[in-house]
Amino acid sequence: MADTLRQGGDNMTDEYQTTSSFYRGLAATSIVGAVVAFGLAACGGEVDNAAAPTPTQTAPTTMQVRNAASACSALAGAGVPASAIALPTQGATITSASLVAADNTTGLPDYCQVLGKVLATNSSDPAINFEVNLPTTWNFKALQLGGAGFNGLLVTGLGGPIGGIQNWPSDEKQPLAMNYVTFGSDGGTTPDGTFGLNAQALANYGGESVKRTHDTALYILKAFYKTVPHRMYHIGGSKGGHESLVAAQRYGSDYDGIVAYYPANQNQAMVMSWFRMWNAAYATPGGALDPAKQALVRTKVLAACDGLDGVVDGIVSNTAACQATFSINSLRCSGGADTGDTCLSDAQINTLMTAATPMEFAFPLANGVTSIGPYPVFQGGDVERALFDPFGTDGTHTVYYSLDEPVIKYFDQQNPNATSTGFDYRAWQPRVTQLSNELDATNPDIDAFHLKGGKLILVQGTTDMLVTPNQTTAYFNKVAARYGDSASSFVRYYVAPGFGHAGGTFALQWDPLTALDGWVESGQAPINPVVTDGNPATKGRTRPLCEYPQFPKYKGAGDANSASSFVCADS
């Protein structure tokens, strides 16, 4: 392996200087003083022996890296020792490190872009490719970003659908431009799910890549800045949200704040429930709904439920009242046979009722999970593409199929020649249980995270047909039950009506990083933060993001496109 990096000593070297801005709060002074006094591996060169802040001083909030080009190039070709990574590896190699100039188009600042690989203990197992972005002006904070789908694509930390925070406002600066160190990885997997045949890659997918990537990035960060971060955050959505919960549950002492958007935290339960719905639609003759019938259901749901929040705006906000109001049987074709697009056959009603009914498992999964669902098909759920095939009639173009098939083939059956046809999870109980224990993030015990003072934000949309809102709610309720009245001091759960899996009728846009950082630094949790709709037709309309179980209710007067006209209500 290449020479390992050498990290900072008692004080920052003369290549680094702090700015005149100050770190929030006197409480941080003792933390920073401890950082300055903490001895890392000895570093070369002259050392600036400036004294640590005294109890009457506050520490700086930013630092400027002098001679950044040479400091960055010094990282190239170096390595991270295996001892710096808590989980087994052969260490990590840095394949490139280059200073990237500020870009007025993207808004990104000068930063050192570091690319590399975390090497598996067994050289035949796949490595984890990573990227760490080190701004030359640093706010002493770092942000780890989660992946998506089966991972396999490098999360750059530079913004965009793969490299940034989900649902990030288009007019906001990226975290790197806000002087955060950002980093991510490809999870050590492949986007097609075939990695399920490799035990180490599967373990990385289950969450081990979160720790390996974190520890590697932290070592590189310390080598570059010659000090440690004051704050470490993790943000992700879907699979990345699963990784956010992995961070909280398994590696909580590493993080000060975490945001999990619509977390896909139950691999086997989700796949089994999707497969159950898909079978009702496509393994049952006439079970699928064509686009006209999908539109019929949506129109009838909106007619019954849209106004239950006080305003007709195309969004079902009062989902609890909607469940008690809408009946799918009102759309049944006379006699139950399919007679056209103005009604639903019994087979089609069965498909929707399968989705709208919780799936009870034949045996418990990890952490005692015994069911999943229901899915929000009668609350405006985004059924197109998820459940129903927009490009054919056999269901192979649905999102459910594209995710189920690889998991059932490569994860469960571990046979590249197998198919999902006729798969019965009950016949695979030992393997399903093993995978649930390895992959799921459903443990309500987040004591280490809580004891560190960490803050957790959960965000879920009401129309998500991949991660049902009931799934996220079930996890939140378990956490709330474990911690009682103290739960609200470090966990907040926000629900966005009309928001699906990253999009929806209300395509939520929000900067959760600033909200999270404010909570961590000031102790003030976000209270009904205002979020924006990013859909072109309704772009700019706003709503309060209410804490569960509340929803945004129209006050009865005012602009229906403005959050100020709504109040978070229980009913």
* C-alpha–C-alpha distance, residues 321 and 298, integer Å: 16
* C-alpha–C-alpha distance, residues 232 and 73, integer Å: 25
DSSP at 388: B
Say if CB 332 and CB 293 are below 8 A apart.
Answer: no
- Closest C-alpha among 96, 234, 236, 103 to residue 177: 103
DSSP at 411: I
Q: Could you give the C-alpha distances from 562 to 203, 323, 555, in angstroms and in order?
A: 45, 26, 11
* C-alpha–C-alpha distance, residues 395 and 388, integer Å: 7
Number of H helices, E strands in the chain: 15, 21
User: CA angle, 236 as apex, 467 and 97 as ends, to 5°?
Assistant: 150
Report which secondary-structure segment, H or E, holds 260: strand 257-261
Say if CB 170 and CB 114 are below 8 A apart.
Answer: no
Residues 6 or more apart from 307 whose CB is under 8 A from it?
none
Identify the active-site residue in 382, 464, 511, 533.
Answer: 464
Active site residue 70: no
Active site residue 73: no
* C-alpha–C-alpha distance, residues 250 and 395, integer Å: 37
DSSP at 439: H
Instruction: Cis check for the bond before 549: say yes or no (omega within 30 of 0).
Output: yes
The sign of the dihedral angle between the CA atoms of 29, 227, 184, 181 is positive
The C-alpha R_g of the chain, in whole angstroms, comes to: 25
Backbone angles phi, psi at 109, to 5 degrees: -90, -175
What is the widest separation between alpha-carbon atoms in the chain?
A: 87
Identify the active-site residue in 501, 511, 517, 533.
Answer: 501
Q: Report the relative pairing of strands 455-461 and 371-372 from DSSP bridges.
A: unpaired
Active site residue 98: no
Identify the active-site residue in 209, 238, 436, 565.
Answer: 238
The sign of the dihedral angle between the CA atoms of 508, 513, 514, 516 is positive
| Both structure tokens of 405 | 């098939």
Backbone angles phi, psi at 89, to 5 degrees: -155, 175
Q: Could you give the C-alpha distances from 491 to 68, 295, 441, in angstroms and in order?
A: 39, 37, 16
Say if CB 365 and CB 433 are below 8 A apart.
Answer: yes
- Closest C-alpha among 316, 245, 567, 326 to residue 461: 316
User: CA angle, 524 as apex, 523 and 530 as ends, to 5°?
Assistant: 150
What's the start-to-end Cα distance of the chain, in Å? 62
Backbone angles phi, psi at 455, to 5 degrees: -120, 135
* C-alpha–C-alpha distance, residues 426 and 86, integer Å: 36
Written as one string, the DSSP assignment of 476-495 is HHHHHHHHGGGGGGTEEEEE
**Which residues are catalytically annotated?**
238, 464, 501
